Chains A and B, each alone.
Chain A
Amino acid sequence: MLPPTLLYSHFYWLINTTYRRAGGMRYNSKMTEIHISLAQINTVLGDLSANLKKHMEYIDQAVKKAADLIVFPELSLTGYVLQDLAPTVACKPLANDPVFGPLIEASRKIDIVVGFVDEDDRHRFYISQAYLSRGQVAHVHHKVYLPTYGLFDEGRFFAWGDEIRAFDTRFGRVGMLICEDFWHASPPYLLWLDGADLLLFSSASPGRGLTREPRLESARWVEHINRAYASLFTSFVVHTNRVGYEDGLHFWGGSTIFNPDGGLVAQAPYHEEALVLATVDLGCLHRTRARLPLLRDERTSLVNAELNRIVNKG
């Protein structure tokens, strides 16, 4: 396992020291910048305690670097190809849960997005992403699109989420999606309409499509659509992908942040663990949308009417 490397985006330049305390919090509702860390980690398949330990180490590093938010990949606490392990690694995002307890406590210092298997009260298991902040669970997203084709078999082992909701954070309104969720255009679109200006995507994306190009086809595709979402929704799109191997599958990393102009703010290396810190300048939302009022002009009623017609025509 490679040691984590600490990388700085070359955009890591706007540090307003009046707002910042190392390891502390900023509660200013008029924050103009967010220091985001992408925790591009490898995981141990089915070993919650080993994975939790790594999470705490990365969180500690991110706090020391005065990051506001750390985003972990899909199923970061469990590993990806769980199959029959799914019910045995499920946990509950509660303060008294042995896995979530330390994470929720750590969220007093830094907002944390973490991937896990959520078991609901009726014992259905979901691929999930939790947003932890200020010692609370701010939001849990259940993956709504479970790929069950090709090399994927998620629908066999997991329940389908049935909500796509944005939620409020100290940085503004945020939306979270997990991997296949954003291979479909509708979930990011719904989050955008629901008020999210910051989209936090997490993946465990197996690499595939080796050609003569220096980048895998799966990497090209994901980067392409994330840049497109950032551009079409004039929003920030943050994507953390994992690295490492599970049997013959490898996860390619290459986590990214795109800004509302579709510009690349930061990118983690391919194939190796990294904690990448980057500054997101929220003023970009104002400038881009003043120039390009796609959100203002979006005709949601028209979309709604046409969707109703299409859905009901049969």
Chain B
Amino acid sequence: MTDNPNQALVDLHINPDLARQILAGFIRSELFRVGIHKAILGLSGGVDSALACVLAVEALGPGNVVAVRMPYRTSSQESLDHANMVADKLGIDTLTIPITEMADALIARCPEMDNTRRGNIMARCRMIVLYDLSAEHHGLVVGTGNKTEILLGYSTLFGDSACALNPLGDLYKTQVRQLSRDLGVPEVIVAKPPTADLFTGQTDEGDLGYTYASVDPLLYLLVDERYSIPDCIAAGYEQGFVERVVERIRRNQFKRMLPPIAKLTNRTVGYDFLYLRDWGT
């Protein structure tokens, strides 16, 4: 099911120099235009945050990137080591702020809660730490969510998806991996199975039920090339797989939007009060 016989039809390869230039420029622009020179970034030990960190350092210099490791007691030592590996390579200091105490204070109220609830609590604890550091260091939180995650809704609302700007959000996971390799992220980090590391043995691909390598070309056809479901099936994708992915994209639209406001007046934020965030800058 997940082996895509037509994968060769989709070329997700991107030009690394052009991507780096545009994305580092984006980080620089979004910070400098509001008088901010520091980025706050959660460094998990995974490839997404490693790449975001590389781009932030390129944009701002190593002295202006505050990278923080936020382990929970079940987090793997390997994740912490890999975060250090990235920081050492980039010449940046890391902070370590464990979230065990704050997460467990809530989890203890309901010890039988499932892994999804626990994971969401951890992701939201990390968000609180990052936004507190944002205030402390006068920096903006740089997001690490990629296009695959955003489309599939594989994130915690107001948790790991919370950020001030997101340089990776238009790159599929496959492209994050390629760009990471091209920009020198250690191979051990790029090659390992992606994991949210919310509980022992968790992997993204285990949670999703398919691999990034199989779903990214399908997402590209559906989203970028506007293929219909029959078009995708005709292109060699298994019907059930296509339908599951399409439904997952639809069901997670709420994670990609601000909450809807009930319209009452003639001019309502979100509907007919329309300005870019960069208004005036």
Contact = CB atoms under 8 A, between A and B. Distances in A.
Do A and B belong to a common assembly? yes
Interface of A: 1, 44-47, 81, 83-85, 207, 210-216, 244-248, 250, 271
Nearest to B22: A250
B11 A212 contact: yes
B15 A214 contact: yes
Interface in B1-36: 11, 13-15, 17-19, 21-22, 25-26, 29-30, 32
Contacts of A248: 26, 169-170
A47 B280 CA distance: 6
Nearest to A214: B15
Interface string B243-281: 000000000000000000000000000001111111111
B278 A214 contact: no
Contacts of B276: 45, 81, 83, 246-247
Contacts of A211: 11, 13-15
B121 to A, nearest CB: 30
Nearest to A213: B15
Contacts of B281: 44-45
16 contacts: A44-B280, A45-B278, A83-B274, A83-B275, A84-B273, A84-B274, A84-B275, A85-B275, A210-B15, A212-B14, A214-B18, A215-B18, A245-B25, A245-B26, A246-B276, A247-B276
B25 A45 contact: no
Contacts of B18: 210, 214-216
A113 to B, nearest CB: 25
A250 B26 contact: yes
A45 B279 contact: yes
Contacts of B13: 211-212
A1 B35 CA distance: 12
Contacts of B280: 44-47
A103 B280 CA distance: 22
B12 to A, nearest CB: 9
B32 A1 contact: yes
Contacts of B32: 1
Nearest to B14: A210
Given A1-B32, A84-B273, A214-B18, A247 B11 contact: no
A248 B22 CA distance: 10
Nearest to B277: A247
Given A44-B280, A271-B22, A214 B17 contact: yes
B224 to A, nearest CB: 10
Contacts of A46: 279-280
B185 to A, nearest CB: 19
A144 to B, nearest CB: 24
Contacts of B26: 245, 248, 250
B25 A246 contact: no
Contacts of A213: 15
Contact of B30 (A47, A207, A245): A245
A211 B15 CA distance: 6
The 10 closest A-B pairs by CB, nearest first: A245-B29, A83-B274, A212-B13, A247-B276, A84-B274, A210-B14, A81-B276, A246-B278, A45-B278, A247-B278
B39 to A, nearest CB: 16
A262 B29 CA distance: 35
Nearest to B175: A210
A81 B276 CA distance: 7
Contacts of A47: 280
Given A245-B29, A271-B25, 5 more contacts: A44-B281, A211-B15, A246-B278, A250-B25, A250-B29
A207 B277 CA distance: 19
A89 to B, nearest CB: 11
Most buried by B among A84, A213, A216: A84
A106 B274 CA distance: 35
Given A212-B11, A250-B25, A245 B17 contact: no
Nearest to A84: B274
A160 B191 CA distance: 52
A85 B273 CA distance: 10
A275 to B, nearest CB: 19
Contacts of A216: 18
B22 A212 contact: no
Nearest to B32: A1
A45 B29 CA distance: 13
Most buried by B among A207, A210, A216, A250: A210
A216 B170 CA distance: 14
A250 B276 CA distance: 13
A272 to B, nearest CB: 9
A127 to B, nearest CB: 16
Nearest to B224: A209
B147 to A, nearest CB: 12
A107 to B, nearest CB: 28
Contacts of B169: 248
A79 to B, nearest CB: 8
A211 B80 CA distance: 33
A210 B19 contact: yes
A1 B25 CA distance: 10
B171 to A, nearest CB: 9
A245 B280 CA distance: 13
B29 to A, nearest CB: 4
A48 to B, nearest CB: 11
A249 B280 CA distance: 16
A245 to B, nearest CB: 4
A248 B280 CA distance: 15
